Every structure is written in C-alpha cells, then in structure tokens.
Structure 1
Amino acid sequence: MLVSLFAVALASASLATFMGFHIVEDLHQPPWAMSLYAAVATLVTVGANRFCGERIDGGARIARLVSAANALRLLGVVVLVLPHGFPALLVLAAPLLALGNSATSSLYSFGRLYAEREGLDAARYNTRLRTMTSLGWMIGPALAFGAADRWGSAVVFEGGALLCALSLGLGWICLPTGFRKIVALKESGGASQAEDEAPNPALWLAAGACLLFSVSHVLCTAALPLFYVREAGLPTYAPGLSFAVKCFMEVLVILASAPLLRRIGARRCLVLSAGLGILAYGVLAQTRSIPHLVLGAALEGLYYGVFAGVSASFVQGFARGRIGRATSLYMNSLFVGGLMASALLGGLASLFDFRTAILSATGMMAAAAVLLVMTRHLDRQSDLYAAGQA
C-alpha cells in the first residue's frame, strides 16, 4: 500500500510541477494561462475527492476507486504525449489528471481504515503515508526538470505515462480488492443516522485551519525562488539548495511526529507548527546569505514536517465515523489553499515585492492558529482519536 502511494505521489509531483513550464515555454501561452489551468484542475480535484470520500463512507471498494483514478490519470498523460495545443490540455488533459488526483485522498482513507482494522498504531501509519507522499514530491520535480533539460519536454510526459502505468499496476497488485469500510446497518430515522448527518462545525474549522496552513506554505514556497535571486541577490542555485534542505528536514520530522502527537496531542502539535512557521517566515524574509538561507529552510522544514505528519490525523479526529468525507475535505483544503496562494502571490508581488508575500504568510499562519484553538471547545475527543486511542 505504501509502495502504491509512493508511485502515485511520484507521478503526480513530476507532472504537476512541470505543467506551468510546459504551458508557457512549450505551448507559448501567457502566464495567466497557468492560473486558468490551475483553476480547472483544482475544481475538478475537489469534486472528485468529495465523490470518492462519500463512496468510501458508503462502503465502496477502495481499490476500485484508486484504480479508476490511476487509469484516468494515465489517459490524461496520453493526451500530453500526443501532439496537442493548449485547448486540448485545458479541456481533456486537465480534467483527467485532476480526476487522477483523487487516488491520493482514497489511499489516505484506506490507510486509516486499514490501520484501525488491523490494530496498528494509526498515528504512526498516517506518518508513513505522509512520508511516502513527501518523498514522491522530493524526487518527482527533480526528475521532471532534469529529463526536460537533457532530453526535452516530450520525455517528461513519456516518463509520466510510464509512472502512471506503474501506479495502476501496483494498485492492482498491492491493494486488497475487497477492502472497504464496514458500514453499520442503521434504522431509518435512528439516533445514529441523525448523528451521522448532523452539522459538524469542528470538522470544517479543522479543515479551515489546514487551508490557511496551505495558503501560507504555498505563498512562501512560490515566492522564495524569486526573492532569493532578485531581491536577496543570492546565486541561482540558492532556490534548489533551500528546497533540498527544507525537504530533508521535513521528512525527518514527519518520521518523528507520531510520538510527539501521542505526547502532546494533535492540536498542540499544530499550534506549535504555526509558531515555528511564523518564526521561519521571519527568518526567511531577512535572508541575505547562504548560511542564513540554510537556517531559514531548516526552520521551514521543521514547521511543515510537524504539520504534514499530524494534520491528516487531526482532521480525521473530527470524522464522527465518516473517514472518507473527513479525508477528502482535508485533501481539498490543501488543493484550494494552493490555488488561493497562487492568486494572492501575483497580487502581492505586483503591488509590493516578494518579501512582502513571504511576510504576509505569517498572517495566514496566525489565523490558522486561531481556528485551531476554536476547535478545542467543539470536540475534545479529537486528540485521542487522532492518536489512535479512541
């Protein structure tokens, strides 16, 4: 299951990060075309995640949902392998690739349900899932841009097709085909059904906090490369070094986050992450040298590693038995946050500068901390559930 998730993450990362370059450099479209593509992809992804989450909660076989998503992503990459223009990319490839993104959300739901059913440490299993995702995103972009630099953009999509086919095959081999959520029989109009359908404001607040984390993270990550080179006067290798240090620290912290979650609880972990994030952005915004950059990138990896290792468990803690819905809402908060950050970055960089964009991320992080505190008064059982103790 972990191998299947790594293959999915590797395929997603190699394609998603290269798409903007392909649109502008290969298809000769204006920069706003990237935003149009991102909007279409995000909207379709949100709908697909929501659909799969509801199907999982209804008892659908998760392996079938994952295989369908991987097959749709493969079809989307085939469109890109063939000669195409921007209209074909926007109308055919973007929706197909976005539908394929639902595989990640479904696998996260699968992981949580599998851990609970087998009596595994749910918090630790969630960190393993997140580690596989982060490793895929560490390796995928480097593979894509390295291949494009050496052999051209066509090789990126051909390699992406192979990765998607590998994801599809591994899903068939590794995932138990009959695994599904056990749905308890309910009497019509019974108390359990009423509770299941009751409003769940704590879940939405938890997802809102994750959305603000995502806005903050993507806003800073997207602004840093141009800030380093244009405003801080650092060499052109600085963005790559920063990303490598950040990702290395992030993976280490994710692996260590399960004991921290059990010791202080998911909510306190995320409040700690928000505080570290504000500190990291303050350090990064003042960067003027490579040692300063390394310190800031390490702090960035530290805060985001805590968030990445704990956030899925935190949101699932408010699921009230609807793991599919909670997980899809969590994943959607990350996608929508990324889209919001991209739009916000353009405005801030045009009106002010990239340093201002980085400092603005601290405001989003502070707002996320406020929402986290608000969830405390709505559901005190979430920390126990997130740690696999309830």
Structure 2
Amino acid sequence: MRALTALYYRQKPDLASAAFLVVAFLTGTAGALQVPTLSLFLSGEVGVRPILVGTFYTVSAIIGILISQWLAHHSDKGINRRMLIVWCCLLGMLGCVLFAFDRHYLLLITVGVVLGSFGGTGNPQVFALAREHADHSGREAVMFNSIMRAQISLAWVIGPPLAFALAIGYGFPVMYLGAAAAFLGCALIVWKVLPDLPARKHHPAAHHARVSWWRDPQVRLLFIGCTLMWTCNSMYLITMPLYVTRDLGLPERTVGILMGTAAALEIPAMLIAGYYTRRFGKRSMMRFATAAGVLFYICMTLISNEYAMIAMQLLNAIFIGIIAGIGMLYFQDVMPGQIGMATTLFATSTRTGSIIAGAIAGAVAELWGYHAVFYVAVVSVCTALFCCFRMKDV
C-alpha cells in the first residue's frame, strides 16, 4: 500500500487533476442518489408493477445507448469535449428536477429518461477527457484512472445511505433536488476549471475502428464479457432493494448499508488493482475480478442473513471495483485513436447490461420472485468468466 501511495505522490498534483477528481465524485454522487432508490421510487411513489419497473430500466438503457453513441461519435471528431460535458450535466440536472416533481410514468419514461441519459453520458466523456489530460500531461494513465474511479466509489459510500435518509426523512423531491445540485456543481467546475486540450491528432487506426470495431474479435469478446458482468450488477441493483425489504423483511436502511459497504470496499480494490495491473496485466486482473463475482452471486442464492450479506460485499467490491476501472482502460487500449468512442463503448456495455437485466429481472421476479433473479445472475457471470479466459492480454 505504501508503494501505491508513493506512485501517486510522485505525480505532482495540479489544479486540473484535482478538478477531475471532484467532478468524478460529483457525477458519482448524482448517480448514487438516484440509482439505489429508483426501483422503490417507481414501485412506491409512481405505483407500478415489477414488470413496468424492469421495462423502465430497459427503455432507459436503450435510449442511453443511442444518445451516448451519437455523442461519442461526434466527440472524437474534434468538438469541444469540455463544453459537451457541461451541457450533459445541465440536462441531467433538468432530468432530476422532473423526477422530483412529476409522478406520471409515461412522462418519466420518455422525457425523464432522455434528460437522464444526457446526464449519464457526461460521465464517460469526463473519463475520456481525463485520459487525454493524463496523456497530454505525462501522468500515469492506469493509476490516474483508478484514483478517479475511486472517487465514484467514495460517492457511492455516501450516496446510498444519504439517498434513503433523504427519501425516508424528507421525501423523494428533496433527494432528487440533491442530485440536481450535484449535476449543477459538476457543470460549474467543468466550465471554469477543466482544461481545453489541443485538438486530437488523427490516429491511423481511428477511421478503421469507426467502421468495423464490432468485427474485431477482441473488442467483440470484451464487449460481450463486460455486458454480461454489468447485466449481473444491474439485476442486483434492480432486485436487491425489493428482495431485502419485501422478501427478507429487513428495513430499508439495510439496502443503503449494503450498497455503501460495497462502495467503500471498492476504493481500496480499485487502487490496489491500479497498482498491480502493471505487474499482472489487465486480463489477469479481470479474470480475478470476475471469479470474485461468481462467488458473490453464488452466495446471494444461498445466504439471507443480514450480516452475512454485508460481509459478502467484499466479493462484490472486488468484482465491480476492478472491472469498472480496468475494463475501461482495456477498451481504450484495444481501440487506439478513439478514446471517446472506446470509453463510451464501455459505458454502452453497462447500458446494454441494463437492457438485458431490466427485461430478465422484471419477468423473472413477476413469475418466480426476486430470489430467482440471482440464479440467472450466476449463469451470466460464469459466462463472463469464460469470455475473460478467451481474451488476449493488452
């Protein structure tokens, strides 16, 4: 751990790098306030059935993919990435305001989802700009990315308990207005502090990648593997709050504790992974993380004790913490010359996983109950582990 800390401090901090960390924390906070309570918000406040909760996640993911891919395509063609992030944050803020005061399902699943998708797209663009900043300033990209990802995990330590405290104590409008404030703060910092980098030079592989990235077996295998991993995580986020509160009869605060514990443990997992990736390689770290995911979801099918579930979050933290950081860099390395598209493609794997998870979680929960969803997650994460063993190292 001392070697890891020394590696970080050898890279002299600067105002722009510090601002990237704050922006990552704020975008993470905006998401951490909304995601943990969304299924409870839809089922309780809006009053829809489980199948419509799953449909909401699926529609949200589809629209998110379309918007993020469209923006990613243009972001790699030389437009001002910094101002693109500002506008995404402002639209995300408007989406939070809509969720704060409206309870019409059709309006939320259309206008609300579109505004929220722009807000969510700002996050991969922040990481793309951060990678360009690291390359431009000579910082070590893997460690810098890991520290940024740790800020998001830190936000998820604070966010879920705070989200439930605000929703239970003051109501969902206050909670969503808190997320709107995070988006607004993010927009101001990006506008005032983050750098305008020089125009990106054309990479010889960039045009080919735009046309046929999906024909590259390594990119395709990486995308499938990451999609399956995020499918598991999305099924967990959709199902776990309802499973814990309705099937197990535990208090709602337990949901926040579980999510906060996982996020807290993700921070050292990310930082340690960022250090050891240089020694063992990205592929080995992803295999290790996915194996931890297999153990976690097997345990979810077997264990219902509150304290055991909290202890199991160590496996969940290793799984998500490593994949969230190393997976993004893996995409950037196998898609040279298209940092924006590669980073967004990684985010697209998250949203594609949400599409699959929304359809599966809603249908399985409707037919067999919330616990049955975790059996599907075991199959999904085992398939992802198979994909990891087929990948080549980069």
TM-score of the pair, normalised by structure 1: 0.85
Q: What does residue 347 of structure 2 align with?
A: 331
Shift of 1:209: 0.9
Counterpart of 2:53?
A: 34
Of 363, 366, 370, which residue of structure 2 is paired with 1:347?
Answer: 363
Alpha-carbon RMSD across the aligned residues, in angstroms, is 2.7
Contact kept, 8 Å, 2:161 with 2:260, in 1: the verdict is no
1:150 counterpart letter in structure 2? G
- The structure with the larger Rg is 1
Give distance in 2, aligned partners of 1:347 and 1:65.
37
User: Displacement of 1:337 after TM fit?
Assistant: 0.5
The answer as to 2:232 corresponding to 1:213 is no
What is the rounded CA distance, in whole Å, between the counterparts of 1:225 and 1:83 in structure 2? 22
Deviation at 1:205, TM superposition (A): 1.6
CA contact (8 A) 2:161 2:256 kept: no
- Whether contact under 8 Å (2:24, 2:152) holds in the other structure is yes
Farther-moved stretch of structure 1 (301-310 vs 56-65): 301-310
For 1:317 and 1:364, how far apart are their aligned partners in 2? Answer: 25
Q: Deviations over 1:203-256 (max 9, x none)?
A: 122121110111122224444455556666767665444333322222221121
1:103 aligns with 122
Pick from 170, 173, 194 the counterpart of residue 189 of structure 2. 170
Alignment-derived partner of residue 62 in structure 1: 81
Indicate yes or no: 2:328 matched with 1:309.
no
In 2, Cα distance between equivalents of 1:18 and 1:182: 39
1:184 aligns with 2:202: yes
Taking a change above 3 Å as real, the CA distance of residues 349 and 318 of structure 1, as seen in their structure-2 partners, is same
Q: Please say if 1:50 is aligned against 2:66.
A: no
1:13 corresponding residue in structure 2: 32
1:185 Cα deviation (Å)? 8.2
Deviation for aligned residue 1:124: 0.5
Q: Which residue of structure 2 aligns with residue 387 of structure 1?
A: none
Change (3 A) 1:75 1:10: same
SS in 2 for 1:101: helix
- The worse-fitting range, judged by mean Cα deviation, of 260-269 and 301-310 is 301-310
Pair 1:257-2:276 in alignment? no
In the alignment, the residues of structure 2 paired with residue 167 and residue 192 of structure 1 have an alpha-carbon distance, to the nearest angstrom, of: 30
CA contact (8 A) 2:221 2:391 kept: yes
Which residue identity is paired with 2:197? F
For 2:177, the equivalent position in structure 1 comes to 158
Provide the aligned length of Structure 1 versus Structure 2.
373
Q: 1:193 and 1:83 mapped to 2: Cα distance?
A: 44
* Partner amino acid, structure 1, of 2:201: V
* 1:366 has 2:385 as partner: no
Give the gaps of 5 or more residues in structure 2.
1-19
Change (3 A) 1:85 1:237: closer
Unaligned runs of 5+ in 1: 383-390
Return closer, same or farther for 1:52/1:193 CA change in 2, 3 Å cut-off. Answer: closer
| Cα separation, 2, equivalents of 1:268 and 1:139 | 31
- Supply the distance in 2 between the matched residues of 1:288 and 1:32 (Cα, whole angstroms): 24
Measured after TM superposition, the shift of residue 181 of structure 1 is: 5.0
Alignment deviations for residues 308-350 of structure 1 (CA, whole Å, 9 cap, x no partner): 2311111212112211111111001112202312321233334
2:41 aligned residue (18, 22, 26): 22
Name the amino acid aligned to 1:132.
Q
